[in-house]
Structure 1
Amino acid sequence: MPEHSLVPRPTEFIPADGPGLSLDTGTRVDADGTSLGTAAWLRAELGAATGLPLAPGEGDGAIRLRVDPGAGLGPEGYRLAVGPTGALVTGHDPAGVFYGAQTLRQLLPAAAYRRAPLGTAAWTLPAVRISDRPRFGWRGCMLDVARHFMPKHDVLRLIDLLALHKLNVLHLHLTDDQGWRVEIRRYPRLTRVGGWRRESQVGASLPPVYDGRPHGGFYTQDDIREIVAYAADRHITVVPEIDVPGHSQAAIAAYPELGESGPLEVGRAWGIIEDVLNVSEDTLKFYRNVFDELLELFPGEYVCVGGDECPKGQWRSSETARARIAAEGLTDEDELQSWFIRHFDAYLTERGRRLLGWDEILEGGLAPGATVASWRGTEGGVAAARAGHDVVMCPTRTSYLDYRQSDSPDEPVPVGTVLSLADVYAAEPVPAELTEAEARHVLGAQVNVWTEHMDSPRVVDFMVFPRLCAFAEAAWSPAERDYAEFLPRLEDHLLRLDAVGVEYRPLDGPHPWQRRPGVPGRG
């Protein structure tokens, strides 16, 4: 594996003269007290691939892991020095040590990513000095498990892949019209009824065509605890999303009193659904109870409440909505949605959390503590940053990994506009029109994996990789990037994905079995 093939590209990479470090049965891994988690991870991952014991302890040729906040590295930053007498990873914090260990693994042959030794590799780390730190503190991936459920095993696998690419946020879209995916003990019908649908739309044709096959699944609370802990061990925060007040048909199917139109079934079709939550006190209490349980499961700072694509037609004809507008002194239904979001902003703030919502939460006035995920272009992010609110940038044209990867007819279920690997790589998270002070409100960026047309983990692999590799570099590495320089590094990096077993899209187009001829998409 060539020395230059690191992904994402580090801030500083200096090859050193002389031999590197050969790993053998005597190689030890020594860690200070705050780096023990990374040491355990390194022994498990690298030990499986090499067959080496990598026992704890000092000595010649040891890999040493150290946290040093005074090293001038910055949050999540690290320094890696390799020579014939050993390797030293110094991190600003435990996350920095972990990312340094990820880079150390990339310096080895791609077989370092296999689950058992092949018996043919020479395990030598090249002599090198690397200094590195992330450009952004929010480097995320949103995974929609509501439209198509992803089993826990595959979520854990995705977490490992995010960590490999130095991403640190997994945003889980847990509820939508087509499914409710997290156990809420107080309301068991949310998963018993809302956790499955009788069939799913195939493609994006109008009128819809359905597959006639039930689909469902959900995570128990213990599953969620496991996912969150597994991610935390890899310095990834899991941000849950419970979508309100739109995209709530699955919840209304389970508890019809939450809606405006009586009994419904869980959604089968994709797109924007007219059914929304009502704004009664009972509905607000119901969701406060839901969030009470959710906060026990997800200890991170941010909780996403969605707030996107909420049709207002049912509210316009609703006596409850009109009464609420009058009682709260609101002007219209846009302000009613803002009032709804503000209610949960206050709820989360009282509990030491922060509300995240899609940029529609700007309509009717932004809740005081809200952070905006800007998806409908960059305009929402610009408006929020100028108003002093934090922003996560994820505009459709650069961040939606459900979008087609080329204009070839071989692309499966072609959705949206073309979002190529080069497009993802070239995307700049900070809008040019922001001042330096406003730009500080851009926490970072994320890619969004909407799964209407991704009905298995294999399809998720195809749509996400290698575009996620390009995004990882855009979110981690310095702003100056060169796609021509990135591409040969990526080609080497694909050997690592091969070793892991990722069914990515080849750079020259889909394999025959990755196509879906005859299944229509949409522009």
Structure 2
Amino acid sequence: MKVAALLLCSVLPCSAAELNLMPWPSQLTQQDGFLALDHTPHFDVVGEDERIDHALTRFVHDLSSRTGAPFDRHFPGQPDGPQFIIHCAGHGLRVQALEEDESYHLIVSQTGIELTAANPMGIMHGLQTVLQLVQPGPRGWVIPNVRIDDTPRFAWRGLMIDVSRHFIPLENIERNIDGMAAVKLNVLHVHLSDDEGFRVESKRCPKLTQLASDGLFYTQDQVRELLAYARDRGVRVVPEFDVPGHAVSWLVAYPQLASGPAPQGLVRSEHDQVRPPLDPTQEATYKLIDTAFGEMEKLFPDQYFHIGGDEVDGKYWDKDERIQAWMRAHQIKDNHALQTYFTKRVREIVHKHGKDMEGWDEILDGDLPKDSLIQSWRGADSLANAARMGYKTVLSAGYYLDLMYPASQHYAVDPTAGESASLSAEQKSNIIGGEAAQWSEYVTPENLDNRLWPRLGAVAERLWSPQSVTDVDSMYRRLAVLSRNLEWLGLEHRISSQRMLGRIAGDDMPPELLNTLAMAVEPVKEYDREKTQVYDGEAPLNHLVDAISPESDQARHINALAQLAAHDAPARAELRTYFIKWRDNDAPLEPYLATSMLREPLVPLSKSLSTLGVLGLAALDAIETAKPVTQEERKEQLARVEENAAPHAEMFLVIAPAVRTLVQAEFGAK
């Protein structure tokens, strides 16, 4: 009975087996006892490989960092630690590929550790699991006795980072690859060209570097360094060069290929309205693409090459009389057909250089060769349509991290749910995974980590773990542990936020006043930030909205307490502490706000937080005294909650739902 219960927990985590694993394994059996990790493990490797050697070096280093124990040092006379046997059946492919076996088998017992896999990919994944299993015991560090058979649900588990709108240095990308490896993500999709810049050195088309990068680009040697770094950690790198739309950087370098008037420079802000696509009717367009893509396809070894294809503004084609005449002469009826013509020509170029084409879902057309890969970003319908038509496809809709959704919302998105649930088994097999996306209109090297982590861990679990693993409370508990552990890898999602808050607070105010406000707010969601200001790629991103986390852990806790408060005295007592703190924070904070341009926009938020504290305390009093509240009184209180929940400075008070819940729970007329 005990083993059966633990096997059940391997599918749906429960308290009996709630280990700090993320993503949760396919099958896990936990047994009594622990392996004592008193000294550095003695590694016995069968099927040695350079990547395994490197992975073991990182493993010992990371183990030392997490525990604070010198596992990475060997002292004279020190005995060996437990035996760690590694069986690797093969070396893996020279160029990591979609079809590689990433499964592993792990046994931890009181006598040692045994890790078996078909290739270095599985070994690396297993080592990450072992690291997550390490925990403190009464007499030292231990690993619980477990048996794990683990394999990913989807072969494509990715992250897209846009380095065009705001250039991201190599070191920032590399440390996030470390984070990806920790949660078993295996595809880094780099968005390398857009209206704001072309970000890779081109020797065959040097104008792209000289005129269209602002001097911010990766040299080809840096690209090779990135590729080697990623491969060493089991991560493929898929490049994207966006055509025919989002092509201003191409046209700054080659203005004669514009559809209509050429842009005068790279896009800096929303004021730069001239953003024509490439002209798909000119043979010179395809000659340039052949030259540039040929060079880039040789540089990036992955089998897939992303051509973009999204958001092509057809008005430029509509207004160009020469393009319209060409379309009539070639019996191309509309802009979709013209883009399909372009896409098929580009696919031939990509294929000529030995690669398979990937593109955003706008390229989907039944006439495309079936080796094309469709990335769905506009919704689950395009994912299902692509799979139904026989195309391999990955889901990004629902995984856009830049929209500032909470981890739970991303966690609830499943590639085979919704419209895809009705597909046949054969059609579902065309859905090969998913990919989180981080566009960088409001991201800089300073806050990139903060925008990715820890929410990316929830997406990683959705793409690796069995479909039945859906417990949100369990996910958040393990996500908090992951967030702390990522810091030992060098991720800066927490420390960068603290540094940015410190800059705003300055040296003239108590930092706890700002922190009280910061923990109660979140950035506005979806594209609401663009509704309140004109996007400017050169504007500094150094305000509170840029510093805070996309999701407030404290606010989530407070909102959960409010759900219990009507019948839970300890919950009410804890809420009262928060409400008093909010009520009393504005008076001492207000004098400091006007003295800094970074703080002045926070005046309305601070006053609203204080008001919500007052309303929350009144609601608690009404609940605890059972004082009747009339319909009109409740209506007025709710109106005040809504008034003070309104966004300011591109943020909103995410704790407002807690106050609303308490007002609605007050005793009185319904």
Which TM-score applies when normalising by structure 1? Answer: 0.83
Give how far 1:152 is off.
0.4
Q: Does 1:475 align with 2:463?
A: yes
Match of residue 235 from structure 1: 234
Structure 2 counterpart SS, 1:20: strand
Match of residue 413 from structure 2: 427
Deviations 1:14-46 (A, max 9, x none): 222333142415x32222335441232222342
Q: Does 1:46 align with 2:32?
A: no
Q: Does 1:448 align with 2:462?
A: no
Are the aligned partners of 1:21 and 1:87 in contact in 2 as well (CA < 8 Å)? no
Are the aligned partners of 1:335 and 1:363 in contact in 2 as well (CA < 8 Å)? no
Q: Pick closer, same or farther for the CA change 1:509–1:467 going to 2, 3 Å.
A: farther
Match of residue 399 from structure 2: 399
Give the AA of the match of 1:245.
P
CA distance in 2, matches of 1:54, 1:476: 34
- Mean Cα deviation higher: 34-43 or 379-388: 34-43
Match of residue 493 from structure 1: 482
Q: Does 1:87 align with 2:145?
A: no
Q: Does 1:64 align with 2:90?
A: no
Are the aligned partners of 1:336 and 1:364 in contact in 2 as well (CA < 8 Å)? no
Deviating beyond 6 angstroms after TM superposition, the runs of 4 or more aligned structure 1 residues are 505-508
Are the aligned partners of 2:29 and 2:147 in contact in 1 as well (CA < 8 Å)? yes
Give how far 1:433 is off.
2.8
CA distance in 2, matches of 1:496, 1:229: 24
Q: Does 1:257 align with 2:283?
A: no
Say which of 499, 502, 505 aligns to 2:492: 502
Match of residue 331 from structure 2: 329
Are the aligned partners of 1:77 and 1:91 in contact in 2 as well (CA < 8 Å)? yes
Match of residue 8 from structure 1: 23
Deviations 1:462-486 (A, max 9, x none): 2211210110110000001211222
- Mean Cα deviation higher: 278-287 or 327-336: 327-336
- Mean Cα deviation higher: 2-11 or 222-231: 2-11
Match of residue 115 from structure 1: none
Q: Between the two structures, name the one with larger relative contact order (CA 8 Å, sep ≥ 6).
A: 1
Give the AA of the match of 1:277.
L
- Mean Cα deviation higher: 281-290 or 360-369: 360-369
Are the aligned partners of 2:153 and 2:464 in contact in 1 as well (CA < 8 Å)? yes
Match of residue 547 from structure 2: 514
Are the aligned partners of 2:451 and 2:493 in contact in 1 as well (CA < 8 Å)? no
Q: Does 1:174 align with 2:192?
A: yes
Deviations 1:116-155 (A, max 9, x none): xxxx994432322111110000000010001111000111
CA distance in 2, matches of 1:424, 1:297: 33
Give how far 1:273 is off.
5.9
Q: Does 1:184 align with 2:170?
A: no
Structure 2 counterpart SS, 1:127: strand
Give the helix-richer structure, 1 or 2: 2
- Mean Cα deviation higher: 12-21 or 308-317: 12-21
Q: Pick closer, same or farther for the CA change 1:159–1:81 going to 2, 3 Å.
A: same
Q: Pick closer, same or farther for the CA change 1:23–1:226 going to 2, 3 Å.
A: farther
Give how far 1:296 is off.
1.2
**Runs of 5+ consecutive residues of structure 1 not aligned to the other structure:** 111-119, 197-215, 405-418
Say which of 390, 394, 397 aligns to 2:392: 390
Kindly report which structure 2 residues correspond to 1:124-135, keeping only aligned pairs within 5 A, or say none: 124-135=142-153
Give the AA of the match of 1:258.
L
**Runs of 5+ consecutive residues of structure 2 not aligned to the other structure:** 1-16, 91-99, 498-517, 524-543, 549-597, 602-647, 653-670
Match of residue 200 from structure 1: none
Give how far 1:435 is off.
2.0
Match of residue 590 from structure 2: none
Match of residue 375 from structure 1: 377
Are the aligned partners of 2:45 and 2:85 in contact in 1 as well (CA < 8 Å)? yes
CA distance in 1, matches of 2:188, 2:353: 21
Deviations 1:424-464 (A, max 9, x none): 1111111223222211100100111001011x233222221
Q: Does 1:104 align with 2:130?
A: yes
Give how far 1:95 is off.
0.8
Match of residue 277 from structure 1: 278
Match of residue 426 from structure 2: 437
Match of residue 338 from structure 1: 340
Structure 2 counterpart SS, 1:174: strand
Give the AA of the match of 1:423.
Q
Looking at CA atoms only, which structure, 1 or 2, has the larger radius of gyration? Answer: 2
Number of residue pairs aligned between Structure 1 and Structure 2: 469
